[in-house]
Amino acid sequence: MKATFYGHATIALELEGANVLFDPFITPNEQAKHIDINSLKPDYIILSHAHEDHVADVATIQKNSDAAVIAIVETAAWVGRQGVSQDKILAINFGGTIKTSFGSAKMVYALHTNATPDQQYGGVAAGYVIKSGDKKIYFAGDTALTLEMKLLADEQLDWAFLPIGDHFTMGVDDAIKAAGFINCKNIIGIHYNTFPPIKIDEEEAKQKFSAAGLNLHLLSIGDSIEL
């Protein structure tokens, strides 16, 4: 299995049985100009929430790929208003696990606001625990550090995608605490460096994680890592 970073919080996962794309925000991202979104043909698009920096390319990529879109109910309704047909929308809510061709996706808590790009109610922001083959992966989405993460401690997570950019989400120090809460050592950073307020010192971040006994992977846009 493999993860590819497309900038910001956009992650593609090649799982057992299907390809998944999280939070597509590529064409508005100046740092991702070299990525051709027409080359992306996921089987599933999974949304943490509907803020513009997580959904900008959903409609285009869904049209190109006919992907099923997984989101919380109210964000899923916005996806429907973008012209995605209802049979391609998988609306779930907290605590719910959906069976998929790669395994399953469970919606878990995130501490963050949510609104659609047209400023309608988008429900609440969410994270996901993905099961595929013998791997378990946590995609935190946009979130602050929260005690709810401790509920994932016994999940035996292999990998976690955590926001580390601060300002709109938790920053490096809280992400290190989060890694402790979820009991996962292999962390891939998301939601950093895209905009000036979320710029981080990458070397310092890696050193801090390493000092806490954790591995922080920071991928260049377009690069992949074996999971």
Q: Which residue lies nearer to Ni ion by CB, 13 or 50?
A: 50
Does 106 interact with Ni ion (rule: CB under 5 A)?
no
How many angstroms separate the CA atoms of 223 and 129, rounded?
22
Stretch in the footprint of Mn ion (CB under 5 A) among 28-36, 89-97, 138-146, 182-190: 138-146
Helix axes 202-211, 172-182, angle to 10 degrees: 30
Per CB under 5 A, the segment of 30-38, 87-95, 129-137, 139-147 that binds Ni ion is 139-147
Beta bridge partners of 100: 103
Contact between 191 and Ni ion by CB under 5 A: the answer reads no
Q: List, in order, residues 6 or more apart from 107 with CB less than 8 Å away.
A: 72, 92, 93, 94, 95, 96, 97, 126, 127, 128
Residue 142 touches Ni ion, criterion: CB under 5 A: yes
Minimum gap (Å) between residue 218 Cβ and Mn ion: 17
- What span, in angstroms and rounded, lies between the C-alpha atoms of 112 and 169? 8
- Other CB atoms within a 10 A radius of the CB of residue 213 amount to 10
Q: Does 51 bind Ni ion (CB under 5 A)?
A: yes
Write down the least CB distance from residue 13 to Ni ion, Å: 20
Q: How many residues belong to the site for Ni ion (CB under 5 A)? A: 2
Which residues of the shown chain bind Ni ion in the complex (CB under 5 A)? 51, 142
Which residues of the shown chain bind Mn ion in the complex (CB under 5 A)? 51, 53, 142
